[in-house]
Each structure stands twice: as C-alpha cells, then as structure tokens.
Structure 1
Amino acid sequence: MIVEVRPTADGSNTLYVPALDEHYHSTHGAVQEALHVYLQAGLETALATATGPAPVWVLEVGFGTGLNALLTLQRSLSSAAPIFYDTIEKHPLAASVIRKLGAERYILNPELLECYELLHEASWNTPEALTTQFALLKLEGALQDLPLAEDTYQVIYFDAFAPEKQPDMWTEEVFRQLYAAAAPGGCLVSYCAKGAFKRSLKAAGWQVETLPGPAGKREMTRAWKR
C-alpha cells in the first residue's frame, strides 16, 4: 500500500493513502484528535472508576501509526491502574514508513522515544510488557476473524477508516462482536458521528450518545454497554 506523509494543523504528521483518498488522522490535528476522541472521551472514563491494582483493558481497532497506543502509554505513566492494550491491524505499516512518519512529531516527552520504538518493534500476536504500567498485544488480521474474550474491555477505540472507504468494518455484525467483547459498563468511542453508524450500534445493543467533536469536527460518538 502506497502512503504519503502529510502534516496536520497541530504540527503532528499523519499518513495519506492515495488509493483510498483517505488520511489516517484528522488533517485538523492528528494528536489533538486522538487525545479528544480516544483518551478524554474514552480512556479517562475508565480510569476514573478504576479501583485498586486491577488493570484497565483497552481494545483498539486500527493500530495504524501507533499514535493512540503511544498517547495511552504516556497516560499510563501517571495512572494508578496499569493498562492492558490490545490492538488489531489488518495491514501493518512497514518499518520504512514508520521512520518516514517522524517519531518526533508525536513525542512531546523525549523519554517516550524509546517507548515509541518499542511499540513498533514489539512482536505481533505475542503480549509484551513495555513498562510496569503498560502491556501491549498487537493482533495482526481482520477483526471479524479474531476471537475476542467476552466481557473484557472497559474501553474500545474504534478507529477504522471512514465507512465509505471501509464499509465492511461498520456493520451491525462487527458492533455485535465488539459489544460481546466489551466489559459491562464499558464504552466504545469513535471520531465518526454518521447516522448509519449510530443506528448500527443501537441495533447491536449499544446505548449511543453524541459528544462534541475535536477541532474541525462538530460531533463524535460514544456508546455504552449497559
């Protein structure tokens, strides 16, 4: 897959896929979008209710450039609860693309450079503890083909390409699969706020709410397993 490095409005880089006419992140700011949608609306809700040494389980659909994982790892360094982070990617990026993307564009804390490299050097399909607070499992393959533990994940980052670019990822069947994998009271967060997406979530059992979106986008979606 041919990709191009593109700058975004907050100074961070993203990737552009000419064949799909699609960016990996918002052109209004890759980092600000990830922080707003996935960490603030998703992860923080789970950390706020975490108790004792029990880990918070995160499932990410779409590892991509590793940005969401890196920011979650950064947050784990100041979290009382450890984070177990499972992430799924059907088309892992080549190491040459990751180098071209520019790690310095994502790393506000230079101490995270090593962590960024560890994220991408970690083996696929094998869990690894990257720090005492963050364990990573990268799963290579299609979400629909992967068995997921039921009632497990407090937070699901749903970060697939847009519905019109990747329609097989936005079906009621997919959201039923994720509903089964979510822990009771867990949430799913996504940058997408389209009506068809919300209807598919509701049909799969999720309780859906619309939240203010990140810069450049009016709305985003959060759904709950009740």
Structure 2
Amino acid sequence: MSYEPKLAAALSGATLRQLSHWRRASGPKGAVLVPEISSERPILYSFRDVVALRICVQLREEASLQKIRRALNTLREDLGEWEHLSSYKLVAGPDTIYLAEPDHAVDLIKGGNVVIHQMVDVLAPFYKDGRSIPALLTPREHVAVDESVRGGEPVIQGTRIPASDVAALVRDGIPPDQIGEFYPGVTAEAARDAADFSEYVDSYGSSEPRQVVA
C-alpha cells in the first residue's frame, strides 16, 4: 500500500504544503523526509513515512524547522543513525530535541544525555491548529489502519474491505443501513465512520487554504 499526499497528510496532520517543503532539500542539512516509495510524481508515501510525518508534526508544534533539521543532521551525521525516521523516538523539549532511549535521552541540539520523564505516543490522537488528528491505527471507531492488512490501506475494522469503497457507496446515495447488502457484515455505524473519515481526508485536498509553511 502506498499513500498519496492527501491521505498521508490526513493521517499525519501535516499540510500538503508542509509535505512538499519537507521533502525538498534546504541547504546542507537536506530534506526532512523523502517519500520512501516515490519522491517523483506521483508522490507516494509508505506506512513508515506516515509514522515519521506524525513525529515531524508533533516536533514542529514545539520546535522550529531549523532545529528539526539540525537535530536530524546530528542523528544521521554525528550519531550515524541512518534507519528510517519512524524507527526513532524524537521528543521536543525546551529549546532542544531529544533522541529518546529506554533509560535516557540524547540531546540532539546541545549535546549530552538527560532523563525524560514523559514520552509522547506518536500513534495516539493529538490536536494541531485546532484540528483533531486521529489515532493512526484507528482513525475512526470502525476504521482501521494495519500495515499487515492491505498494506495499511484504511479498512473497515475487522475486515479487508477498503473504507474508501464503502464511503464511495454512501456518497453515491446508498443509505448506511443498506451498505450491508453490498458488503455483508458492514454495519450502518461502520459505513457512517467510513464516510466521515473520507470527508476528513478530502479536507486535506488541494483546495486547502494557503498558510505559512513551517
């Protein structure tokens, strides 16, 4: 499964302009995140990319993009950590960014080790600019994202039925309580959740109002 920018944005909380900005190199420190599947049109992100984007979005709430780039440069060039960004737990603190280890954390801006008492669950729901960003694995109660099921495509919970297919039927005028005639086992509540999630994803479309990239 690959994620087009709109779906990657909806699942991560990043804006489309941020995705574009973050995948471009900016000076010697390079890009924040280059899509793992395709960095050329059509742009396609992996499940790991979406996890990494959630990390970047949450870091950006507390730290400047310059500090994030500096921290990533330290992680890669100084510490020799070249695994996918989703492999690391990065936490923003006052004036710095930490690489969190099981019993300590490395300060990627100022250097040295510290103890972090509070960790952020990057998969959990959070708020950004007044918008509720859903839990990555359960973006709606009856919608699931599991990398082992259809490669991470959002599906109806407990099935392999793409949520987008169910949402398309609802958009075409099929009442939610009749969706089970097309997909046995899909309840009206699940159909409503699929339609609601589809509307949420569409809110990240190209008509997104212009805002400052950060």
Q: Same fold (TM over 0.5)?
A: no
Q: TM-score, normalised on structure 1? A: 0.29
Q: Which has the larger radius of gyration?
A: 2
Whichever structure has more strand as a proportion of its residues is 1
Whichever structure has more helix as a proportion of its residues is 2
